[in-house]
Amino acid sequence: MLLPEKQELGILLRRYKRFLADLRLDDGQTITVHCPNSGSMLGCSDPGSQVVISWADNPTRKYPWSLEMVRANGFWIGVHTGRTKQLVQEGLEQGAIDAFGQVSGIRREVRLSSGSRLDFLLDTASGPVYLEVKHCSLAQDGIGLFPDAVTARGARHMRELEALAEAGMQAAVLFCVQRADAMSCSAATHIDPAYAFAVQAAARRGVRFLAWQTEVQPQSLRMSRQIPFHLQRVLR
């Protein structure tokens, strides 16, 4: 996925009100930008971190610059959650994500009978697959962790996928891990035990859990390789 060409580098001063961040550009100017991430951004929102912002050519936006990525531990971490679904869709279409065999069709924002929506419905050789995608930017001890804040919505999605699996449908969750130091992925039990419990319950009913690492560069994002997803966090 190519990112907008109009970009700037800066230094993060603070992130606040969930969707705003103040930063200082290389020319010394201080600006406020949109922060497209509803999570806590734990581990990637420290003041003083280098950041990349991109320009949205939309005259109706109050804050035309958006936070794309934050540099930590010597590498870039993608924090723009609004890009995750398109990134995964491109990975499916281009064959970078090959866990579902040949995918002949992709439908987005699929409504369930409950009224909720899931991210994708894939047409595959083995039948339709309901797929929910999660953006992962937190890592500890080399393990990507989701969520980085309590997510009642995420737990509800797990229960809905569990119900689909119980009804004989194929269902899966794909964690899009947007940092280079995560060698595997797991549910963040210490942050949201209810979500971790819902993951365990869904897995017992046959929901598949997958994790894919993303190559994060200022100019582009690319689904790179599959990494293990552990239902139980591996402690070191």
Q: What is the pLDDT of residues 143-173, one digit of tens each?
A: 999 999 999 999 999 999 999 999 999 999 9
**Residue ranges of the chain that CATH labels 2.40.50.580:** 7-78
Rounded to 5 degrees, φ, ψ at 202 are: -65, -40
Question: Please, which pLDDT band fits residue 236 given cuts at 50, 70 and 90?
Answer: very low
According to the model, what pLDDT value does residue 233 have? 61
According to the model, what pLDDT value does residue 235 have? 43
Q: State the CB neighbour count (10 A cutoff) for residue 63.
A: 16
**81-230: what fold?**
Trna Endonuclease; Chain: A, domain 1 (3.40.1350)
**Residue ranges of the chain that CATH labels 3.40.1350.60:** 81-230
Across the range 198-214, mean pLDDT stands at: 97
SS3 content of the chain, % helix, strand, coil (to 5): 15, 45, 40
**Residue bearing the bigger pLDDT, 183 or 115:** 183
Distances (CA, A) of 16 to 37, 42, 139, 175, 183: 11, 13, 21, 26, 30
**Residue bearing the bigger pLDDT, 196 or 232:** 196
Q: What is the mean pLDDT of the chain?
A: 95
Select 7-78's CATH number: 3.90.740.10, 2.40.50.140, 2.60.120.640, 2.40.50.580: 2.40.50.580
Q: Contact, 137 vs 149, CB < 8 A?
A: no
> Please, which residues bridge with residue 170 across strands?
129
Q: Contact, 121 vs 127, CB < 8 A?
A: no
